[in-house]
Structures are given as C-alpha cells and as structure tokens.
Amino acid sequence: MSNLHLTRNAVWGQLAVMAMACSLVCVYSPPASLAGQMPADTKKESPKKDTSDKSASEDASEDDSEDDSDTASGVLAIVGGDVITVTRETIRGGTILIEDGKITALGNDIEVPKNAETIDASGQVITPGFISLNASRVGLRSSSDSSAKYADSLDPFDNNVRLAVGIGITTTCQKVTLRSGGSRGGRSEETLAGSSTNLVADGFPITERFPGLDPDLAQLALLKPPTETDYGEFISTCPCCGLPILPTEPLATPAPKPLTTQGSVVVKMSYGVLDDMLLRENVFFDTNSGALIGANNQRNWRGQIELARKYLTDQAEHEKATAAGKKVKPPRKPVKDDVLRLVKGEIAMRIPANSVSEMKDILLLAEELDYKVVIDGAAESWVIGRKLAEADASVILTPRRRRNAQFGAEDRTGTWIETTRVMEGQGVPFAITSLSGSISLNGLAGRDLTSLPLEAAFAVRGGATERAALAALTIVPARMMGLEDRIGSLEVGKDADILILNGPPLDYRTYVETAIVNGHRVYDRGQARVLPVYDK
C-alpha cells in the first residue's frame, strides 16, 4: 500500500514538473505576431547548413532584402472600383494611390508602383469617409488632470470608434467642455465623476466606469434634462414595420437665455491609431438655443461684435506702429478669441434653432453684423428657404425628425419630409446628422449615430438628389468646419479617408468592406466582425 502511495506521489510530482516546464515555455515564447520584432540575440538560432548551400542562401537573402526595400515604399493602391469623388465626376474602374496618409494620385491611367500594397476593389464603390457633426462620446475619455487638453482625452481603442467607422464615419465633430471645479445644476463636479476636472461631451460626462458607453441612470438623474426632446413615450406601433410611433409637439420659440459658448473638437475615427487622430479644435462658434432671442440679448451681442471689431482695428494700428519702430502699449482684448475668429470670418456661428421666428432673428443679426451662420436643427427651414439663401446661411438637418404643425398654420409650421429638396432647390448648403450622436445597443438602436447613412437615404426619399445627399455627409460638413482642404472629397493632396463599399453608398443593404483613415486600414468587415458578415 505504501509502495502504491509512493508511486502516485512520484507520478503527480512528474506531472507538476512537466506543467511548470510548459508554463515557463509559454511565458518566454513570444506571440507569433511579435516574433519578428524580437531582438536578434533572443531569437532561436537556426541549424547550420552545409557549405554547399551557403552561396544559394546568400543569394536568396539578397533577393529578399531587395523585395523588402521595394515593399517598404509605404504606397497603398486601391484599384478597380468606381470612385465617387463627390466634387467631380465619378471615375469608373479607377485607381487611387495613397502615401504618407495623403491621396497622391487618382484616375484611370495611374501606374501602380512595383510591390505597392494593393486592394482590389473591382465591382465595389469607393467614396470619401462620412462626417458626423453631432457625434458624442466617441473616441473621447474623461481626464482628471487640471491641465488636461483635448488631445489628452483621445481613445483610439474605444469600441464606439470601431462601430462608427464600420458604418462609414471617418470624422466626427463633438461638442466638449473642459472645465475645472464649479457646479452644474446645483451639483458639484466631484459628485458626477469623482474628480475636479471632467471632460463633458454633449452635456453628459464621459465616465471611466464604462468608457464609450452612456452614463448610468444614477448619473443621468443628476444632470439637467435637455431643453428640447425629439420624442416622448411610445403610444403605438407602426402596423407595417412594428416600430414605435412617437408623439411630437408643435415647435415654440424658446425663452431668451444668456449666451454661453461651448468648445468642439474634430476627431478622426482612426481605430487603433492615435497619430493625427485630433484634427482641429473649436471649428465653430457654438452657442446655445435662445441666446439671440429678446431685445436685451441682441443688444448685448451687438456690443460684443462692436468690441471685437474695435479691438481688431486697434490691434492692426498697434502692429503698424510697432513695425515703424514706435513703442505703443498693446490694446486690451475685451472679448474671447472665438468671437474674434467669428468676426474675422475664420469660423461660423453654429446655433440651434427650429422655429421660423427664431431663425429670422438669427439671419437678420448675421446679415447686420456680417458673420457666417450655421443653423442646427432648422425644422421649419423649408418655410424660409429663400431667406436662408439670401443670407448665405447653412443648415444642419435630420430628415427623420418630426414636429407637428400648429393648428390652423399647417402650411407654414412643423417639419416636412421634403425640406432637403427645398434646400437643394434654393441653393442652401445642408449637412445631415442622425437623431442621436451617441452609439447605443452596439449600434442596433436605429436612431443613434450608426443610422447616419440611413438619414441621407431619407433625404433622397424627400426629393433631394443622391449627389446632394452624399455631399451632405461629406463635403458640405467639411466646408462648414473650414476643413474642405483636408476632408470631404477624394482629391489629390487631401487626407486619405476612404470607404470601400459593396454597393451604392445610400442603399440600406450596403456594408463598408474596408475603411481607410489617414492612410491606415483601420477597418475590415470580415476581420472586425462588429456588423453582420454575409454575402449581399
């Protein structure tokens, strides 16, 4: 019996030694993906070859080194697809060359460099990446650093970035506020996120507990509810599709509110790549709804613009005097930098407005004070399309957003499915946004950011041309932000933000097969598997 017990102990001892040896091998064996990156002295030596094979191996190594030098050119070629440039004619069976994150060549008779990385897009459609102007909590995380900047809050590994680029969004403009301490709605910032400095996106703090996801209900209860809601509670379902029919309410001009500003940040959806993820900061003069309503608010705003113009004049005189060798005290800056940029025409004012009366006040002030304006929402813009065109204004629309008309004024109030057709006919630039800027239920909610291409399809349903609807996702928002030299169309010299689609860009059955951001392949549908993968 004792011998049997000793035998069992010996067996278990041998198994333990074998397990320890295997674990050591696992610990010190590099992954296959990293094997080529290990230092030379850590690689396992290859067995010695016969001297007869030495010359052959040297020749082979020389050939390999030559091939490596050719493939190290860093050129990516997309060949065979139908290229929708947006700003120019479509190129059938075209070729695009990409190098250093930029488009270097585009056309039919393009010679592909030897050993360049090639993507065969035959039978597929190539378009610029889509741009979202109302994204929220995508690729951004909170920061507890009192000196934090937007660049410090970028998160290229946020799963929402992959979901966004998976439906074609390569650039987002997100409203953010970087603030230290203070309170909001009577609650301290420490109560919301446990730190004195929080990056807040679209009115909600970005939490570290669930990065990239919406705040939990306890946090939402502490926040001030939005001033305008798109939908109320469900009252019935559609008999044809089963989707809930949500009640709406007639639009009303909001009450006057003090003018407040909010920052914005333009973020590339370069999943897994941090380089050049932050494109630009504060591309709009963003202000709140109701800021230009009422005589008092309008008088204060006129005063701000007058102070800004006087400062710019004094600053120019100071620079002239300094250049002449005079010692002159520089003028004091009386307004914020964003107001100065607005007056100089570097950025446009983006302001939420939906009713005709509020939009008219905004247009009158913009024409009087001579600055560019972008109206966000613009539910009743179809009523004043000509005035918008005369004021050289732009609008941001959501085709599926609905508001009831006022009783007895159905011909001049409420929303209309053909608003995009009216805007295109009047020559008013319009961009398209989704009903919500966040991503919920892994992109399957139908009303979140991932429905952006669907909104453009509804613009076509309302009478807009496909060309205008696609431009509303690409070049028009780029122009609104002053970034048309970088994004929004496929042209030589622009950023290589490119989509390869398996069908027309506005077809609900179309999927993004490959997405390229800043010249990097950041998404492949077959490998990412975040969206259904099957033959169309």
The CATH number of domain 283-487 is 3.30.2010: no
Amino acid in position 415: T
Residues 6+ apart with CB under 8 A from 511: 501, 502, 503, 525, 531, 532, 536
Q: How many residues does the chain have?
A: 536
CA 298/CA 292 separation, integer angstroms:
5
Token pair 């069976």 is found at 93
Q: Does domain 69-123 have CATH number 3.30.300.130?
A: no
Radius of gyration of the chain (CA): 29
CB of 189 within 8 A of CB of 144?
no
What pTM did the predictor assign?
A: 0.76
* Interatomic CA distance for residues 157 and 508, integer angstroms: 27
For residues 499 and 256, give the distance between their C-alpha atoms in angstroms, rounded to a whole number.
43
Tens-digit pLDDT profile for the chain (536 aa)? 444 444 444 444 544 444 444 443 333 333 333 333 333 333 333 334 444 444 444 454 445 444 444 434 589 999 999 999 999 999 999 999 999 999 999 999 999 999 899 999 999 999 999 999 999 989 988 665 555 678 888 999 999 999 999 999 999 999 986 554 333 232 223 222 222 334 444 444 433 333 344 444 444 444 443 334 343 334 455 555 555 555 565 666 777 888 888 899 999 999 999 989 999 999 999 999 999 999 999 999 999 999 999 999 999 999 999 999 998 899 999 999 999 999 999 999 999 999 999 999 999 999 999 999 999 999 999 999 999 999 999 999 999 998 888 888 888 999 999 999 999 999 999 999 999 999 987 666 778 899 999 999 999 999 999 999 999 999 999 999 999 999 999 999 999 999 999 999 999 999 999 999 999 999 999 888 777 655 54
Return all residues near 221 (Cβ < 8 A) that are at least 6 apart: none
How many angstroms separate the CA atoms of 61 and 66, rounded? Answer: 9
Q: What is the DSSP letter of 186?
A: T
Where are the domains positioned within the chain? Answer: 69-123, 131-245, 283-487
Give the C-alpha separation, 470 to 495, whole Å: 18
Distance CA 292, CA 274 (A): 39
Rounded distance between C-alpha atoms, residue 140 and residue 154, angstroms: 5
203 neighbors 157 (Cβ within 8 angstroms) = no
Q: What confidence tens digit (pLDDT) does each residue in 113-132 have? A: 998 999 999 999 999 999 99
Residues 150, 476, 500, CA angle at the centre, nearest 5°?
85
Q: How far is 70 from 59, CA to CA, in rounded Å?
A: 17
